[in-house]
Amino acid sequence: MAFLLVVVSRRFMNPVSYRGRKLRPYLPQLFKHTGTQLILACLLIVGLTFLICIPFASQHAQTHTLLALTTIEKYFDQIKEDSDYLLASEYQHTDCERLLVPLRKGVFQSDRVKEIGVFDRDGRIFCTSNTGKTSFYLYQTMLDRINRSPFQQTLSYTKTRLSKEQSIVLMYKNNQEENGLSILVPPRYVISLVDDLFINSHLNYTVRVITRSLTSIELDKQDRLSVSHSRKYPLEVEVYKQKSYLFYYFLSKSWIAVMVAALVNVFLVLQKNKKLSSHALPMSLEGALQCKHLELYYQPIVEHREGRIVGCEALLRWNDPIQGMISPGIFIPLAEKVGLIEEVTHYVIDQACIFLDEHVELFQDKYISVNISRSVILKASFIDKVVAAFRSRPDLANRIVFEITEDNDFTEKELILLREKVMIMTKLGLRFAVDDFGTGYSGLHFIRQCDFDFLKIDKVFVKNLYQESNLVPVLKSMYRLAEDLNINVIVEGVEETEQLNILDSLGFIYIQGFYFSKPLPAEDFLIRLKAGGRDINRKELSSPKEVGSNLLI
Ligand code: C2E
Ligand code: CA
Ligand code: CA
């Protein structure tokens, strides 16, 4: 049990991983969900164990019966062995006087027998330990039974001549021709022997010699569980159940039920824990949406020559009370998988609009861009809601940019649909950006589908900019393309001065990256905005270059 507890507790301490992220198990939820199940499992196992016990209970009774029978047989065998010396050749063909002393010695030394008599080959008892010389015959039926028995022995349960009490008489010979012994055994000796075996067993028994029962209790035949017959003696043992037998038998085996229940429950709890952990994020993402544990951070987009903030990207943050900060790289794909992404997107748009509304002055000439997943942008329900939200608010729509990732997974049909949807939303005043440009292989084809206002060059083109010289021509051609299409370019993921220098020399002026600022909580972003965006990390560039067309506003 201790081992099981250690295993279980260690299992709960060990986080389960989801999409490469280690998740802490949700213990309160675990017990909330498994409590009833565990109780039901216990009840079921107890019930099943009880049912399984029934056939085993009669087997158990059978074992008791056999044990009782062999114990009695051994008892009589031992009596014979102890008395065998009285049948030695020296005591054959002799009179009672020579026999009397050994006979009495035999009774005196034995705690099993009351009286021993010796009978001759005609069945005449001529000497007993109690009366000495005597003369009476064994019943013919007894003699017949001795002669028929392969062991030359029999039993009888009868009233003795001496005490007139019912006694067991063990009669046997060792040789056809010579003397035999008739040994008187008080039935209570046999009964106490068996009583010891049946103590606390909740079974009743009866021992029969020939057909006579040694006990006087009346037993109901219906309660009889088993019967065993001796092959050596005319003896049988019958076992009967008491009313409480099954219950007590079950109680004696209840440790099995406890063990099975414990094992099953441990298994159930482990399974549930695994299931809950894999459902933990989806479950709490739904809760996070309801409880507003999702917060928008804003990362400035900067016109780097003047150090002027021209807009920002709204990036969702989830601070889960149990799991801590969860990256959008985990929960956005999860929201897509569990069908929550549309709700999440509306939440982000709503929050961004509230933020814009609350700080109209600060956002006069600035925008907030919001990421829209591919699965959401094509949905009619999404467009309907967007139209409903912005139809009467062109002032808000003009300050919102929707970022759509360049994606080669769009089929031709979907691209046509995308064009229609984008057109509807553009009419409202909303603007669109191609996100992560350069990563989706579709490049030009994708850009040409819609009327995009912005092109965001992915950070992979910036990361090793000053080490990989072949990136420069790629960036140059992207720049030219944007110029040709009259699209504003933003370069993402700028972290180093060297990167900025090269980008500047290529003509890029709109930058989003840690170089200027990490994504900030709303209050911190407001502080930056209130400062006029002028306090932004402005660097003296090595070779400033005139740039013409990439103006944002
Ligand atoms: P993204 O749209 O490409 O967003 C830019 C990501 O680059 C952000 O990661 C931002 O923190 C990170 N970043 C910005 N500047 C730098 C830099 O200089 N260096 C480096 N290494 N990283 C930089 P974040 O916030 O972890 O977001 C990851 C992605 O999750 C986003 O990529 C976007 O695809 C998705 N995401 C975030 N918020 C939302 C949302 O509200 N809706 C949807 N659909 N997706 C979202
Ligand atoms: Ca983005
Ligand atoms: Ca991006």
3-state secondary structure 63-123: HHHHHHHHHHHHHHHHHHHHHHHHHCHHHCCCCHHHHHHHHHHHHHHCCCCCEEEEECCCC
CB 229 within 8 A of CB 209: no
Q: Mind listing the pLDDT tens digit for each residue in 70-112?
A: 999 999 999 999 999 999 988 888 889 999 999 999 999 988 8
Residues present in the chain in total: 553
Sign of the alpha-carbon dihedral angle for 352, 358, 359, 361? positive
Region 194-213 average pLDDT: 90
The chain-wide mean pLDDT, for the chain, equals 85
The pLDDT score that the predictor gives to residue 13 is 44
Mean pLDDT check: name the lowest of 141-150, 239-248, 302-311, 354-363.
239-248
* Strand intervals (E) in 211-366: 212-213, 224-229, 235-241, 294-303, 308-320, 324-326
The pLDDT score that the predictor gives to residue 469 is 77
More confident residue, 261 or 444: 261
CA of 435 to the centre of ligand 3 (A): 5
Residues flanking ion ligand 3, Cβ below 5 Å: 435-436, 492
Among 288, 320, 272, which residue's Cα sits nearest to residue 29? Answer: 272
The pLDDT score that the predictor gives to residue 162 is 61
Token pair recorded at residue 34: 């498994």
Q: Mind listing the pLDDT tens digit for each residue in 285-331?
A: 888 887 778 999 999 999 999 989 999 999 999 988 777 888 999 89
| Cα–Cα separations (whole angstroms), residue 474 to 42, 52, 406, 491 | 68, 77, 17, 13
How does residue 514 score in pLDDT terms, banded at 50, 70 and 90? very high
CB 155 within 8 A of CB 76: yes
Superfamily of domain 292-531: EAL domain (3.20.20.450)
Among 159, 157, 162, 164, which residue's Cα sits nearest to residue 215? Answer: 157
Residue nearest to atom 11 of ligand 1 (CA): 519
Region 192-216 average pLDDT: 89
CA of 490 to the centre of ligand 2 (A): 11
* Residue 363: how many other CB atoms lie within 10 Å: 19
Ligand 1 surroundings by CB, under 6 angstroms: 299, 315-316, 327-329, 332, 348, 371, 373, 435-436, 459, 492-495, 512-514, 519
Token pair recorded at residue 8: 């279980």
3-state secondary structure 23-44: ECCCHHHHHHHHHHHHHHHHHH
| Cα–Cα separations (whole angstroms), residue 356 to 31, 32, 95, 400, 403 | 43, 42, 132, 9, 17
Q: Which atom of ligand 1 is nearest to the CA of 456?
A: 3
Over its C-alpha atoms, the chain yields an Rg (Å, rounded) of 50
* Same CATH fold assignment for domains 29-277 and 292-531: no
Q: How far apart are CA 107 and CA 25, in angstroms?
A: 78
Q: What b/e string do you get for 376-414 counting C-beta neighbours within 10 Å, with b at 16 or more?
A: bbbeeebbebbeebbeebeebbebbbbbbbbbeebeeee
- Report the share of the chain in percent with pLDDT over 70: 87
Residue nearest to atom 27 of ligand 1 (CA): 328
How does residue 269 score in pLDDT terms, banded at 50, 70 and 90? confident
Q: List helix spans (H) across 507-545.
A: 522-530
Region 504-533 average pLDDT: 92
Q: Which atom of ligand 1 is nearest to the CA of 348?
A: 41
CB 179 within 8 A of CB 87: yes
CA of 455 to the centre of ligand 3 (A): 10
Backbone torsion region of residue 52, taken as left when φ is above 0, otherwise alpha when ψ lies between -120 and 50, otherwise beta: alpha
Q: What b/e string do you get for 523-553 counting C-beta neighbours within 10 Å, with b at 16 or more?
A: eebbebbeeebeebeeeeeeeeeebeebebe
* pLDDT of residue 551 exceeding 50: no
Q: Does the domain formed by 29-277 have CATH 3.30.450.20?
A: yes
According to DSSP, the residues that pair with 239 across neighbouring strands are 205, 226
Distance of CA 10 to the CA centre of its chain: 13
CA of 298 to the centre of ligand 1 (A): 10
Q: Which atom of ligand 1 is nearest to the CA of 315?
A: 38
How does residue 10 score in pLDDT terms, banded at 50, 70 and 90? very low
* pLDDT of residue 51 exceeding 50: yes
How does residue 542 score in pLDDT terms, banded at 50, 70 and 90? very low
Region 240-263 average pLDDT: 83
Domain map (residue ranges) of the chain: 29-277, 292-531
Among 77, 461, 60, which residue's Cα sits nearest to residue 245? Answer: 60
Sequence letter at residue 334: L
According to DSSP, the residues that pair with 316 across neighbouring strands are 296
Q: Give the global pTM.
A: 0.58
CA of 449 to the centre of ligand 2 (A): 19
How does residue 278 score in pLDDT terms, banded at 50, 70 and 90? low
- Nearest ligand atom owner, CA of 433: 2
CA of 436 to the centre of ligand 3 (A): 4
Q: How far apart are CA 111 and CA 189, in angstroms?
A: 9
Choice from 371, 464, 518 to test ligand 1 binding pocket (greatest atom count within 8 A of CB):
371
Distance of CA 489 to the CA centre of its chain: 53
Sequence letter at residue 531: A
Q: How far apart are CA 533 and CA 302, in angstroms?
A: 8
Query: Which residues fall within 8 angstroms of residue 220, CB to CB, at 6 or more apart?
Result: 240
